[in-house]
Every structure is written in C-alpha cells, then in structure tokens.
Structure 1
C-alpha cells in the first residue's frame, strides 16, 4: 500500500499536462497491445496452422499426384514422344493419368479438392469436393468447372509465369480455402498445372474476420485517441497560455480580467477574476479613504486661508465704498473704483468656493424628482447654451422614482457639468442630457461633442485645484464629486479626445421607508 500511495503522490505532483499524457497513453495502450497480439501471437498461430495445411496438400500433390501422372504417361507413350502429340491426345492422356492418380486420393481426403489445368486446351478436370455434395448433373458439372476455373485463374497464371509452386489462402463459395498449386513438366516442358485446395474450418474464417475487424478498430481507436490527446493537450496548453497572458496583463491593471475559458481552466480563470475584482475593490476603498483624509486636511487648511483672506477683502471693500461716496466728483475716480469692486467681487467668489469645498454647508435632504431639478437648471443655463451656439437635446424618462437629496446641492452639480460642457465647446456643438432609471438608481448623463479630455488628465479631473484651463480654480468638478459622494452616489466620466466627453451621475432611489437604498460607493473615475 505504501508503494501505491507513493506512486499516486508522485503522479499527482506532476504537471497537469504530463498527467493527461500519462492517462491518454494508458488508454492507448489497449489497442496497441491488441495490435501486438495480432502481430506476434494470433498471426503466428494462423501461420502454423496454414503451414500444416500446406504440408498436407504439398505431400498429396507432389508425392502422389504428379509422380502418378508421369508414371501413367510413361506407360502410355515414351515421354520423348509426348510433346510431339497433338493437343487432344495430350489432353486425353493427361486427363486419364490425373483421374487415376487423384481419384483414389479424393476418397481418402474428404474436404480436399484436386484439379488439373492443361496448357493450350484451356481445360480443367476436378476430383473431389470441398463439401459433401449430391451427384451432379452434366450441366451442373460444367457450371462447377467454370466456377472453379474462375477461382483458380489468378493462381494458375502466377504458377505458369513463374514455373514454381504456389501456396495461398483463397475463397470458394464464401468459404476460406487453402490452395497449393504446382507445375507439371514432361521432358522439361510445362504441360499442365496440378493443384489441391482444402476448405478451412469456419471458426478459422470467423477468427480471421474478427482479428481483422479488431485490428481495424484498434487502429481507429489509436488514431482517434491520439487525435483526442493532441486536441486535449492543445486546448489545455491554449487555456494555460491564455491564463498566463491574462495574469501578465492583470499585473499591470487589475481591471483587465481574464477571458472566458471553457472547462476547468475556465473555473480557475473565474476564481482569479473574482480575486482580482476583490483586490481592485480593496485598492479603491483604500484610495477613497486616503483621498478623504487628504481632502479633509486640505479642507481645514483652505477654510482657514479663506477666513484670513475674507477679512482684509472686507476692509478693502468698505474703503472702496467710502471712496465712492467722497470722491464721486473726482474725474476718472469712478473708473478705478469700478475695477477695484470687480476684482473684490471676483476674490469673494473664489473665497466662497474655497469655503464651500472646505466646509460644505448643511444639506437640506428631502425627496426630489431629478427631472424637476434638471428643468430648473436648464431655465437659467439655456441662454448661455444659445449664446455659445450649442444645440441642446434632452431625453427625460417619465415616472422616475424620487431620490433623497439636497436640491440646491444637486442643482450645483448639474450647473457645473453644463458649464464644463460649454467650456469644452468654444466653437459650438451638441449637448445631450438624458435621465433614466436603473435597478436601484437614477442616472443623469451629460454628453457633449467637445474637445474631449486627454487620457493623462482624465484620472485627476476630480482632484482639488487641478485644472487645464487658463482661468479657473479647479474646484468645480471636485466639489461636484464631493456632493455626489455625500449623497451615496457615484459620478463617472468617459472621454475620447476629439470626439467628446460623457459625465454620468448615479444617485440611489428614495426607499419606501423614507431612506436611501444601499447604493454603490464607487467613485472611481
């Protein structure tokens, strides 16, 4: 048992390809053994039996019939004068001599048939039967001789051509027979061919047929097995190769999952894909946590800086208001005061954006319809779209479920996204806004035909203060991302440079119990 256990332990520690090769080779061993048995054992036993038949027939023909024919010819004529006789005379003498020699043997050897073929006369004479026959009529005798002539024709031709004896396996009336043919020479001249054939036992014929069938089946099984083994190994190698290539790609990017693979390799690929998705989710959560920590720290810093900036700006604004009253009559003074007031207002807007980012206002959460919010936003953004030569197309799904959100904050997100689209299409273009329901969320999509976003910039567009525009604080998308995330929603972006950009906002549906259904927290863009 320990030896067997050791063997199986060693076997299962081999590579899967080698295991399959061993199993397939073991299965193919069966037809190979059958072929070896046929070659070295079954064929040998058949050969021994046929040699026994050959010896029996050879003894009867060459030791009794041929010498008997020659002896009778010597009694009839001098063999020096035999070849000078006419064809009919020769045929008559040979027929008589054959009947005298073969007739007694036919009675002593039941199941053996003797035949004589006379050259030049195209005649044959037969003694004995392969089967126990009833007496035949003259017509049946002629028909039988004609059939036997056809059966022996190829052997007679071979013996006449080679002038040598021939032993062969043949058939007669659907029976296997063994035949021995030998030439008859008179005065060194071929005058006839004598043969004897014996019917083999039916079991021998069945055995040969069975062995032949077995051999062909074994060859077929061997071929199919070899082809199947090659196919299995090829598929296995292809699956393993696909997994290896996929793993190399996955090392660079966990989102590149392995392709679908049939069989057990496919189950392995699915398990690897699940593990990769879990790792990607873990990395995303870690990234979100680190990002939240960074944003919180940055928010505190920004809030402090904004407060410090607001106080001196307030002093400057109050001083300008005093100057506007006291120096209103001074020529040219109003122009300078106007410029100062515009810059003060601009700085106040920047400070307010910083405060909104660093310390978001308290949200007024309530059930709202996203289509109503979108229509209100378009009411005051449509003039800007028209002025920028941008064609607007909307598709709002009807009967949308409500979401639980702060209307003003969500409208701020929509405004930011529309303004981004306007800035991306300075020469005009198309803006398509669409809302539709999902399984447990509401989708709002903003698709423009603008310049698109560079792939290098795409991962950073939601980072604070990151902007590719000459003017701007880089806080619009970051604040939008923060607002959607605070509503347990997600915001995604897809962009192709030169073709346009699609922003997709996903917000959870307002639940029946007055809460928000569990929505995805994925904010990976």
Structure 2
C-alpha cells in the first residue's frame, strides 16, 4: 500500500510540486483546446462571409469581362479588368455598415486595384493612392504568391503595424488561364486583436514562468535531497566515530546538523567523563591495594635493613662479607624508594590547600633543583610575567609534581640540553610549561605515559607521572603533552587562577 509520508524526501517534494502545478497545466490546456477553438469559430464565420463576397465578385467580373470582350474584342485587358472589377465591387460594398476592402491583382502587369476601406477613420489627405497600393500589395504579397503558385483559394490572417485583418484570396480564370487574384479583407474587431495579443503574451509568460518554476523546483529538490544525504551519511559515520562532524549546511537543515554536532560533542564529553570516573575508581581501588601491600612490605624491609646494619659492625675485618652487605643495602634502598612511591600513589587524595603565588613558588622549585641541572649540563631558561598569579593548592604535592617533570626532562637529555620554564596566562587558567630539547616521546606512547606502572625508562617504577597527573586533577587542573621524537617534549600543566 502506497504511503506517501514514508517515501523519500525527494519523492515527496516532486509529488507535491506536480500536484501544485496541475492548475496552471489545466489552464494552459484549456487555453489551447477551448479558447483557441472559440477564436477559430469567430474566424470561420468571418471567412464564410468573405468567401461569399469574393465568389460573387469573381462570378460578376467574369460575366463583365465576357460581355465586354464580345462587344469590344480589341479592348486592353488591363482596362477591361479594372472596369469589370469596379462595376462588380460597387454594389457589393454599397449599404454595408462593416468595413470590407476588395482588391484585384493583375498577374501579368503586377498592377492592383482597390475598392473600400477597413477603417472609418482616415487621416486628412490620406497616404496617397500609390503609397496605399504599395502598402496593401506588400501586406498581401505572401497570399498572392501562394494562390498564384497553387491556383487554389486560401484564407490568411494579415497584420498591419496596429491592427489585424482577415483576407480570403481566390484565383480569377479567363479562358481557363489564371489572369488575376481577387481577395476581400475585413478588419478584425480591435478587442479580438488585443485579446489575442494579450492571450499570446500571457501564454508565453505563463509558459516561461512554468518552465522556470519547474527548473527551480527540480534544482531546489535535488539540493535539498543532497543536503539530507549529507546529514544521513554524517549520522552513519557518527555511529562509528563520535569525533566526526557533519559539514556546515545553510538553512533549517544547517540548524539540524549543528544540533546533531552539539549532541555528538555532548555524548563524546559524557564518554570522556565516564571514562575518567572509571579510571578514578580503578585508581582508587588500586591505591587501596597498593597501600596495603606497601605497609606489609615496609615491616620486613625494615627488619632486613636493621639486621644488615647490625652485621656491618661485626664483620668489619671480612671484606667479602662487607661487599655482600653493601649490595644488600643498595637493594634495600631501592625497595624503600619503591615503597615510598607506592604510599605516595595511594595518599595523593590527602591535600592541604593554601594560596600559592605561582611566580615565586616556581622560582623556589627551580632553585632547589638547580644543582641537578648543572651537574647534567642542562641550561635553565625561565620566562615569568611581571603580573603575579595565584592558585589554590598543596605546596608539597605541587612541588612533587614539578620536580618529577623536571627530573624526567633531565633524564631525556643524557648529553645535556636546555630546559625552558614559562608561565602562560590563558583566560581563567594559568599554564606552567616545561619544554626540553631531549629525545622526545613516540606518538603511540603519549596516551600511555600517565598509566600506572608504565615506564619507558630502564628501572623506572612507572608511578611518577601517574602520581603527578592524579595530584594535578585533584587541584582541578589538567596536563597537556606535546612531543616529537628528536625534537624534545613540552609538558604544560594548567590550574584555575584563584
């Protein structure tokens, strides 16, 4: 069963346009088949009248020519034709209220004789007989040639510069020889001429408008269908990837595409928030487990360390045992460091907040680690604005974050290099950028460097950046990393300005 509203948009538009265009199409059909037929009937009645006049005149002219030739055989045919024409035309024109013009054309001499006028009104003095004959002959030239070549009567619709007339032309035979062309002309009613002209103009304009409307409708429908397809394809791609965006579109469909893009952005943000929540929950659970493990490890390690220190005082004379104890002490220090990192990871949620002047605080951090930079041949460049910015944070926790980032930068420049530290105000946030000239980080590893226990350094615990990120997020901030292998890395930490 046909359901119109379940069809494609293009089909609906084309169907609606066809329904709307039925009226003008019917008007055109009516004008073509009925109004034009009415004109034909009017012209047919006038044609019968002119035909009757011409046939009667043709018959009388032939009778006059035959009568006069029998009386005066040597008479000039030109004079004979003119006399016969005027003798026959006079009674036909006498007493007529309507205007009829009778004419005859001598084929051999190309002369023309005229009786009657189409108009009541004639300018004073007229246009002159010669000019009038030339004009009438020129207006009827095509009809004369048609009758002369075919030998048959015809009816034509003639036209002057400001009027229309109907003319009926018939051949005149004398002794079975075509000698002249006779015709009668009658002026069409001015209203008919104006109406016919107006109808033709209206018909032409209507056809042009109709054609233009069809073309515009088809173009608009195709364009609309194309835009709908763009939205449809965009929705299909959005099902697979929420980062995709539908291109800009004008009009109402543009508002729809904008709303869809906003909805996709909202869903993407919701996914990110959900993933962050899951990550926080995982980290919290992991932190509790790590804290328990670290506490359990701390006691045995402390006992082992105390035992080693006791043994050192008793084996001073035995070098071999002393070397073994030194190796144990080194490993115990590593274990204590690992336990400290584990406890730090599990206790980042506990913060003591206070106002911190960023400029002075960052200067104190770089000053404290300056010996490490000098030892590793790293030049420090700082760029702090004159304006002092304040954030709310835990001084010890943030110190831990910045020192961790700086240490990582130093380790990424084993042969020395340059470390730039910049303070970058950005609307209601303050950015602290640490840019090194080290080996850089491969692009595929950038999303993993903040994962717990992920490390690209030999012997690294993989907790330093994970702890730093967690501390930054607790301070309602975020961290952005830009890196290119062989060209260094930039860590930018953003915090809300107090």
TM over 0.5: yes
Please say if residues 494 and 501 of structure 1, whose CA atoms lie closer than 8 Å, have aligned partners that are also in contact: yes
* C-alpha distance 128-265 of structure 1, shift in aligned 2 (>3 A): same
Q: Pick from 274, 277, 288: which aligns with 2:262? A: 274
1:30-429 counterparts in 2 under 5 A?
A: 30-61=23-54, 63-77=55-69, 89-107=76-94, 108=96, 110-134=98-122, 137=125, 140-331=128-319, 336-360=324-348, 362-379=350-367, 396-399=384-387, 401-421=389-409
How far, CA to CA, are the matches of 1:468 and 1:163 in structure 2?
A: 111
Cross-structure match for 1:520: none
* C-alpha distance 334-432 of structure 1, shift in aligned 2 (>3 A): same
Task: Name the Cα RMSD after superposition.
Answer: 3.5
**1:324 Cα deviation from its structure 2 partner:** 4.5
How far, CA to CA, are the matches of 2:82 and 2:377 in structure 1?
A: 122
Please say if residues 255 and 277 of structure 1, whose CA atoms lie closer than 8 Å, have aligned partners that are also in contact: yes
How far, CA to CA, are the matches of 2:419 and 2:386 in structure 1?
A: 20
- Tell me the alpha carbon deviations over residues 198-222 of structure 1, each in whole angstroms, 9 at most, x when there is no partner: 2211221222222222222222222
Please say if residues 34 and 215 of structure 1, whose CA atoms lie closer than 8 Å, have aligned partners that are also in contact: no
Please say if residues 110 and 128 of structure 1, whose CA atoms lie closer than 8 Å, have aligned partners that are also in contact: no
Please say if residues 10 and 222 of structure 2, whose CA atoms lie closer than 8 Å, have aligned partners that are also in contact: no
- Tell me the alpha carbon deviations over residues 330-381 of structure 1, each in whole angstroms, 9 at most, x when there is no partner: 4466655554443333332222111111122742322223344444444466
Q: Is the partner of 2:424 in helix, strand or coil?
A: strand
* C-alpha distance 339-264 of structure 1, shift in aligned 2 (>3 A): same
Q: Which region of structure 1 is more displaced relative to structure 2, 346-355 or 407-416?
A: 407-416
TM-score, structure 2 as length reference: 0.86
TM-score, structure 1 as length reference: 0.82
- Tell me the alpha carbon deviations over residues 256-284 of structure 1, each in whole angstroms, 9 at most, x when there is no partner: 23333222323333333333333333333
Gaps of 5+ in 1: 1-6, 511-525
**1:504 Cα deviation from its structure 2 partner:** 4.2
**1:36 Cα deviation from its structure 2 partner:** 0.9
Gaps of 5+ in 2: none
Q: Which region of structure 1 is more displaced relative to structure 2, 104-113 or 416-425?
A: 416-425
Q: Is the partner of 2:140 in helix, strand or coil?
A: helix
**1:119 Cα deviation from its structure 2 partner:** 1.6
**1:116 Cα deviation from its structure 2 partner:** 1.8
Please say if residues 147 and 170 of structure 2, whose CA atoms lie closer than 8 Å, have aligned partners that are also in contact: yes
Q: Is the partner of 1:167 in helix, strand or coil?
A: strand
Q: Which region of structure 1 is more displaced relative to structure 2, 385-394 or 436-445?
A: 385-394
Please say if residues 453 and 501 of structure 1, whose CA atoms lie closer than 8 Å, have aligned partners that are also in contact: no
Q: Is the partner of 2:128 in helix, strand or coil?
A: helix
How far, CA to CA, are the matches of 1:430 and 1:251 in structure 2?
A: 46
- Tell me the alpha carbon deviations over residues 166-195 of structure 1, each in whole angstroms, 9 at most, x when there is no partner: 222221131122222222222332222222
How far, CA to CA, are the matches of 2:436 and 2:407 in structure 1?
A: 11
Q: Pick from 24, 29, 37: which aligns with 2:22? A: 29
Q: Is the partner of 1:257 in helix, strand or coil?
A: coil
**1:472 Cα deviation from its structure 2 partner:** 1.8
How far, CA to CA, are the matches of 1:237 and 1:468 in structure 2?
A: 53
* C-alpha distance 91-474 of structure 1, shift in aligned 2 (>3 A): farther
Please say if residues 151 and 171 of structure 2, whose CA atoms lie closer than 8 Å, have aligned partners that are also in contact: yes
Q: Which region of structure 1 is more displaced relative to structure 2, 95-104 or 432-441?
A: 432-441
* C-alpha distance 406-333 of structure 1, shift in aligned 2 (>3 A): same
Aligned length: 495
* C-alpha distance 94-436 of structure 1, shift in aligned 2 (>3 A): farther
